Amino acid sequence: MTPTHSPRLLADIGGTYARFTLQVAPGRMAHTASLLCADHADFHAAVTSYLHGLPGGLAATVEHAAIAIANPVEGDEVRMTNYHWQFSIEQMRQRLGLSTLVVVNDFTALAMALPRLAPGQRRQVGGGLARENSVIGVIGAGSGLGVSGLIPLDDGYVALGTEGGHTNFAPRDEREIAILRYGMTLYSHLSFERLLSGPGLELIHRALSLRSGLEAEPLSAPEITRRALDHADPLCEETLQAFCSILGTAAGNLAVTLGALGGVYIGGGIVPRLGEYFDRSPFRARFEDKGRFSDYVKVIPTFVVTAEHATFDGVAAILAAQLRSLKSDQGSAILGQIQRARESLTPAEKRVADHVLAHPRSALNDPIAEIAKAAQVSQPTVIRFCRSLGCEGLSDFKLRLASGLSATIPLTHTQVTGSDSVLELGVKVLGNTASAILQVREQLNRDTLVRAIDLLAAAERIEFYAVGHYGVVADDAQFKFLRFGVPSASFTDPRLQLLAAQVLRPSDVVVIISSSGRVDDLLAVCEAAHARGVPVLAITASQSPLARKADVALIVDHVEDVATHVPMVSRILHLLVIDILAVGLAMRRGAESVAALPNVAAAAGVDLDEAPANAVLPTARRAGPGISTSGPLSRLTSHSR
C-alpha cells in the first residue's frame, strides 16, 4: 500500500480522554495513544505531549491533521461543552505548524465511518434489514450524548452535524417519570444527554435510590456498570436497565425523525463495553415501542459499532475529502479572482499572480521582500498587484487569502516595515496584538485561575511587584484592588522591593509581574516572601525560574526585545490578566465589588444585575492623582510620558 505524502495526525477528543493516532497510509493507523484530558492544561498541551512522544523525527513530518471533538463546531472558535478546553482553529494550526487543520464534531466523524465498516466491526441487535441508499442514524453515549446521521448522495453520503442529544427527555413509564421528577430538581431543562451519559448513569442511580427509599451510595458510572454486569447490586442492575430503555426511546425517536431506513448505529464509550448484556436489555423493545409507528421502526435494524477506531476512520475520510477539495480549487475565492483577472494584469503583475497561484501558503506567510524576490519584481509591483484586485494593500490581500485557504480569518504576527502605508501599519499593530491575546486565551487554565482568585480573596493585603516597563502594570493592579477596599500596594523600585518583602505578614499575598521571569530582584522578592510564609502569585512566562518558584503561575508567553524597543503587546497582555483577576475577585465578593470596576465589568461582559449580592465591602480608598481609569491602552499612555 502506498504511504501518504506525510503522516496525518488524527484525534478523537472527548470530555475525559484525548485519543491520537497517525494515519501512515490509507486505512493504516500507527502510534495510537490515549491521554487523560485532566493531565493537560489545554488542547495544545495534549497534542504536543503526544507529538513529543513519537519516535525519531516523525512529529516534524506531520503536515495535515483532523480533530473529532465532542462539541458543536461552528466557525473558528471551539469551546467544549463537557470540558473547559477552548481554542481558535486557525491559531492552533499556526502554533502546531500545520498546513491543514480540520475540526469536526465527533459524531459527524463517526457517521462518516459507518459506510466503511466491515461486517465484523458492527453487531446487529434485534431484527430489521437495512434499505440500500437510505438515511442512516447514529447515536452514542459517553461523556455526553452524540447524535448524527448520513444522507445518501449519488457518490456517497453527507454527514449531519446535530446536537440532538439536547432534545427533551420523554419518560415512558412510572420509573422514568420518577427519574424525570428527580432530574427536574437539578436542571430546568432535562435533556436526553443528562441521562444517556456517564454522569447520566449516576443521576439515574440517585433517582432510583430515592424512589426505593434508600440512601444513595455515591458510585461512579464505571462502578455502577461493573456491579450491574456482575449481578452484584440489584439497584445498579435496575439503573443500567433503565439506561438501556431510555436509549431505546432516543434511538427510536432518531429513526422516525430522520427516516433512518438504512439503520441506526450505536457508538460512544458506554454501550460497546456492555457486550451481550445490551443485546438482552430492553433497548430493542423500547426502540420498537412507537405506537402507531411500531411497524415502521420494526424493519429498521440497529447495530452496535464494535470497531475500535471508527471515529479515526471517519475523520480521516473527512480530512482526505478536504485535501482533495483544496487541491482541486486551491481553496480560496481570491485565487479564483486572480485566475480570472490574470490576462488583464501587466507582465510584472502576472509574475506576482503566477507566484501566488503556485505557492498560496508561502505568499500568505512571506514578507513583501520575499514575495517580490520570488516573483522577480519590485516591491511596489506587489502592492500594485494587490490593489488591482481591490485590496487596500498587502495586509488586506493576505487576510482575504487566508480566509479562503483555511475558512477563517487568521491573526498572526507580521513585521512592520518602512514601506508600509499608515493603514497597513495600523492593521499590523492591531493584528499582532489580537493574535497575542488569542494565544494567551488558549493558555488560560481554569484550575489555575480559581487558585489565583482564591489566594486574592483570602488576602488581608495584596502587594504587587514589577520592574522597568512593567511597573505600570503593578500600579494599575494596585489602583483596581484599592477601588474595592482591598489594602494594596505596588513596588516598582528594586531598592524598596526587598525591604518591603521583609516586612510581609502571613496573611498577605504577593503578586509578581515579570515578562521574562528571570529578573534577579524579583526572584529575591519571591524567596523573601516564602521565607515569611507568604504565598506568591506570578504573572510570567512558562518554564521560567519565577514560574517554578511561585505558588500559582498565570502564564503569558509573549517575548519582546526590551533592549531595542519599548514592550507594547506583552504589557497589554499583563494588564489584561490583571483585569481578569480583578473581575474574578469582584464576582467572588459580590455585586458592589463589580460596580467598583465599571470599565472592567463592561469590557468583560459582566452583567451587574446578575452578579451575586452577598457581600458588603468597606469603602474603597481614594486613588492618588494622575491615575487613568479608562482601560489598559490609556493607562499605557498616561505612564509612558
pLDDT in tens, 612-627: 444 333 333 333 322 2
- Residue 545's CB is within 10 A of a number of other CB atoms, namely 19
Query: Tens digits of per-residue pLDDT, 403-462?
Result: 555 443 333 445 555 666 666 667 667 766 776 776 677 667 777 889 999 999 999 999
Residue with cell 504576527: 413
Residue 632 pLDDT level (bands cut at 50, 70, 90): very low
Distances (CA, A) of 456 to 141, 504, 617: 40, 15, 15
- State the burial class of residue 560 (Cβ atoms within 10 Å of its Cβ: 0-12, 13-18, 19+): middle
Q: Are 37 and 134 members of one domain?
A: no
Q: Are 148 and 75 members of one domain?
A: no
Out of 67-71, 233-237, 262-266, 477-481, least confident range: 67-71
Domain membership flag for residue 89 = yes
The C-alpha cell that represents 39 in the structure block: 493531565
Residue with cell 452578579: 611
- Write down the pLDDT at residue 620: 33
Judge whether residue 331 has pLDDT over 90. Answer: no
Do the Cβ atoms of 51 and 62 come closer than 8 Å?
Answer: yes
For residue 618, give every residue at least 6 positions away whose Cβ sits within 8 Å of its Cβ, in sequence order, or none: 485
Domain membership flag for residue 266 = yes
Judge whether residue 589 has pLDDT over 60. Answer: yes
The C-alpha cell that represents 219 in the structure block: 458510585
Domain membership flag for residue 618 = yes
Judge whether residue 99 has pLDDT over 70. Answer: yes
CA atoms within 13 A on the CB side of 89: 26
- Write down the pLDDT at residue 567: 67
Judge whether residue 293 has pLDDT over 70. Answer: yes
Q: Are 195 and 140 members of one domain?
A: yes
pLDDT (mean) for 520-538:
95
d(CA 236, CA 508): 50
Torsion sign, CA atoms 39, 42, 47, 53: negative
Calculate what percentage of the chain has a pLDDT beyond 70. Answer: 82
pLDDT higher for 495 or 591? 495
Domain membership flag for residue 527 = yes
Domain membership flag for residue 493 = yes
Residue 639 pLDDT level (bands cut at 50, 70, 90): very low
Judge whether residue 597 has pLDDT over 60. Answer: no
pLDDT higher for 363 or 490? 490
Secondary structure string (H, E, C) spanning 573-613:
HHHHHHHHHHHHHHHHHCHHHHHCCHHHHHHHCCCHHHCCC
Do the Cβ atoms of 265 and 137 come closer than 8 Å?
Answer: yes
- State the burial class of residue 494 (Cβ atoms within 10 Å of its Cβ: 0-12, 13-18, 19+): middle
The number of domains in the chain is: 4
Domain membership flag for residue 17 = yes
Q: Are 222 and 294 members of one domain?
A: yes
Domain membership flag for residue 313 = no
Q: Are 255 and 124 members of one domain?
A: yes
Judge whether residue 600 has pLDDT over 90. Answer: no
- Write down the pLDDT at residue 551: 94
Question: What residues make up the domain containing 301?
Answer: 119-306
pLDDT higher for 510 or 144? 510
Average pLDDT, the chain: 83
Q: Are 460 and 589 members of one domain?
A: yes
pLDDT (mean) for 477-494:
92
Distances (CA, A) of 224 to 53, 204, 209, 296: 34, 10, 13, 34
pLDDT higher for 202 or 6? 202
Residue with cell 502571613: 506
The C-alpha cell that represents 184 in the structure block: 427536574
For residue 574, give every residue at least 6 positions away whose Cβ sits within 8 Å of its Cβ, in sequence order, or none: 470, 473, 513, 515, 539, 556
Domain membership flag for residue 325 = no
**Pairing label, strands 8-13, 64-69:** parallel
Q: Are 145 and 92 members of one domain?
A: no
- Write down the pLDDT at residue 250: 96
Distance of CA 544 to the CA centre of its chain: 25
Q: What is the DSSP letter of 274?
A: T
d(CA 261, CA 296): 9
Judge whether residue 559 has pLDDT over 80. Answer: no
- Write down the pLDDT at residue 359: 80
Residue 280 pLDDT level (bands cut at 50, 70, 90): very high
140 phi and psi angles, rounded to 5 deg: -170, 145
Distances (CA, A) of 137 to 112, 193, 435, 451: 11, 17, 40, 44
- Write down the pLDDT at residue 144: 87
CA atoms within 13 A on the CB side of 475: 23
Judge whether residue 608 has pLDDT over 70. Answer: no
Helix (H), strand (E) counts: the chain: 27, 18
